[in-house]
Amino acid sequence: MSHLSHADELYLDANATSPVLPAAIAAALDAMGGRFGNPSSSHAAGLRAKQILDDTRARARRVLGGGPGRVLFTSGATEGIQTAVLSALCAIRERRAAGDTCGDLLLYGATEHKAVSESLAHWNRLLGTGLTLQALPVDADGRHRLDILRELAPRAALVCTMAANNETGVISDLDGIACTLREHGPRAYWIVDCVQALGKLPLDLAATRIDYAPFSGHKLYAPKGIGMLYVRDGAPYTPLMIGGGQEAGQRSGTENMAGIAALGAVLAELEQGTAFRSHAAMAAMRDRLAAALADAFPGIVFNAPLAQALPTTLNFAVPGLASKDLLDLFDAAGLRVSAGSACSAAKAAPSYVLAAMGLPLWRSSGAVRLSFGPTDGDDFIDEACARIRRCGQALRAPLLAPSPLSGAAHGLLQVSAEGRHGWIAFDLDAGVGVAIDPPLALAPRIAALVGARGLRVAAVLGTGSDPEGAAARAALRAALGQAPADPGPLGWPGDAAAIAIGARVLARLASSGTRMAYLLDAADGSGIAFTGDADGVQLARPAALLCHGVDLDGQAFRALDVAATEASAAHLASADLAAFLQAHADALLVDVREQPEADAGACHLHGRSALNLPLSRLAEHLAQLLATPERPLVFVCRSGNRSARAALALRRAGHPQAWTLAGGIALAQ
């Protein structure tokens, strides 16, 4: 089963969600068609629907090894977790009300999904149980610290762990946890999040000590909105929803029959054992992907030991590369991966899972997760490996390259991180460059960029005397093998009047003591100024462009030869792009993705090949783009974020025909 849902797409984010199995789609359509009845109805249509319900429950019981335990259908794992937590806490409250000191701790693994810790806090507060929430630490491999569990188990009323982690794929030592609880916390209830285990790990729940196990259908080829909850025979149960008494009074509300039928089809495939790969086969496929990654990215670090992880999951980081850079690169090659949990990736924060493992910040903030499904085949993995290696080759292409427009050997590269902007002015023919306001986080990467081109860095300059700027300059000098201390005020070399960068000259302008501005002469004689903020210092010489070291309304530079404007980016919907290009034959399609992304996957839309002009090189080409204000410019990127910044910069500089493709290439293909 290939996951090429678009013409050139390989889906490698199966831990977030999965495509729906064709047999599951057919089963859902059958449930919505010929067997559409309500399973609570006693007539023939209802009985046909009830057969789906009964067959799927029986199959689930067999696949899970549920024995006499309950199996009920939910809307997904979050509902299952909520129900399990509510059931356990209600039982604990009853025990305590009867004078039973059954423990005062709600223990949860430090790497659990946030649905667990948030659910514990929510119901503990609403039920007034007054228990103490405490995270159970994990070791450097991501496994629960059983030594600490032994200490805390006598006080535990409820313990929550997971079968396998959704970010790292680390498989929990459930046997070790069970043994510890039997010996030191025999009365504690135990919830195990089994979302990532279905189809990847053997399950025999009735033979374990597990009280509650939630599952989610959409993680394994069923649609979103359907899940299961296993409840051990004899474990306390309190319904989360009461009403019409469906699910034998365990979960009221008319059942999601299409979802249940689809889940039943997936479980049937699991039972038959023909469509799903064996653990050994999946592990071999993962090892091939790991080898391709190691070939593509020298220095790569895998954030979890493969021997203790799911055979379908890889979590890694590459020194000097942010997760966003890697995601953009993979996406350009048609590889869909993620930066971690889909539920928290949008927050752009370091992974709390990797932080709990004690990994350094560069690994927890730069992590990428690659995950495939148990139906993927060898041809799928072959193509994925080939594209991964192509990404590595693209990444080795130098960013300090001749101008995409003029071909000139000199240029100006913007380097940005965490709302701060730096600049590298360079001349490839002269073999020299100057760094201005380098962001601290990018010091190793900047050193690698100039090293790849064999450039001599004549100076590392700052426009302000803030501590972070000084630390950044020191870090970059150290990475370049230079003395870390500034040779002069804000890095300016002694009493030099100017620094030659090939045929161009960088001049120091009058400073205020704690701030300084610099001016790089341009071909038209107007110059490019650098300052720490938008106001900067008074420029003694004319400049067409002001590049600043801090982010101002999403911009790193602004034109100075036009009146300030509140212009906003003009958005062009992907559905309107073809007509727009047809109506404007002279329109220039500008791909502002970085060079490695364009090398990994060139942009062709509606018969037009886009000019690759990376956003990081836009400042140096602003004057050229403004020279033809009558020519429409349509900026594109992966998602529309970078192209919006480019269009906004052009609009504010006075170009009336600058547009951004809303939704980016992702929605236009």
Catalytic residue selected from 343, 391, 547, 603: 343
Query: What whole-number distance in Å separates Cα of residue 472 and Cα of residue 19?
Result: 45
Dihedral sign for Cα 542, 547, 552, 554, please: positive
CA 266 and chain centroid, separation: 27
What is d(CA 147, CA 153) in angstroms, rounded to the nearest whole number? Answer: 10
Residue 65: burial class (beta carbons within 10 Å; 0-12, 13-18, 19+):
middle
| DSSP-H helix ranges across 567-663 | 574-583, 595-600, 618-626, 641-652
How far apart are alpha carbons 152 and 100 in whole angstroms?
Answer: 18
The percent helix, strand, coil of the chain (3-state, each to 5) is 40, 20, 40
Nearest to residue 384, comparing CAs of 336, 342, 324?
Answer: 336
Give the count of beta carbons closer than 10 Å to the beta carbon of residue 503: 13
Sequence-distant (6+) residues with CB within 8 A of 279 are 200, 201, 311
Residue 245 corresponds to which amino acid? Answer: G
Give the burial class of 121: count Cβ atoms within 10 A of its Cβ; 0-12 exposed, 13-18 middle, 19 or more buried.
middle
Indicate the SS3 state at residue 213.
strand
Q: Give CA 190 to chain center in angstroms.
A: 30
Q: How far apart are CA 582 and CA 585, in angstroms?
A: 6
For residue 417, what are its two tokens? Answer: 């991180």
Determine the 3-state secondary structure of 23 from DSSP: helix
Is residue 343 part of the annotated active site? The answer reads: yes
Residue 546 CA to residue 543 CA, distance in Å, equals 7
Q: What is the 3-state secondary structure (H, E, C) of 251-305?
A: CCCCCCHHHHHHHHHHHHHHHHCCCCCCHHHHHHHHHHHHHHHHHHCCCCEECCC
Determine how many CB atoms are found less than 10 A away from the CB of residue 93. 19
Write the CB contacts of 559 (distance below 8 Å, at least 6 apart in sequence): 544, 545, 546, 622, 626, 652, 653, 654
The phi-psi region of residue 609 (left if phi > 0; otherwise alpha if psi is between -120 and 50; otherwise beta) is beta
The CB density around residue 8, as the number of other CB atoms within 10 Å, is: 11
CA atoms 337, 343, 345, 346: torsion sign = positive
Length of the chain: 669
Q: Determine the longest span between alpha carbons in the chain, in angstroms.
A: 96
Strands of 545-668, DSSP E: 545-552, 555-559, 570-572, 588-591, 604-605, 608-609, 611-612, 633-636, 658-661
* CA–CA distance, 63 with 206 (Å, rounded to integer): 11
Q: Tell me the two tokens of residue 444.
A: 């190793």
The whole-angstrom separation of Cα 630 and Cα 341 is: 45
d(CA 224, CA 474): 50
608: left (phi over 0), alpha (psi -120 to 50) or beta: beta
User: Can you tell me whether residue 502 is helix, strand or coil?
Assistant: coil
Question: Hey, which residues are catalytic here?
Answer: 343
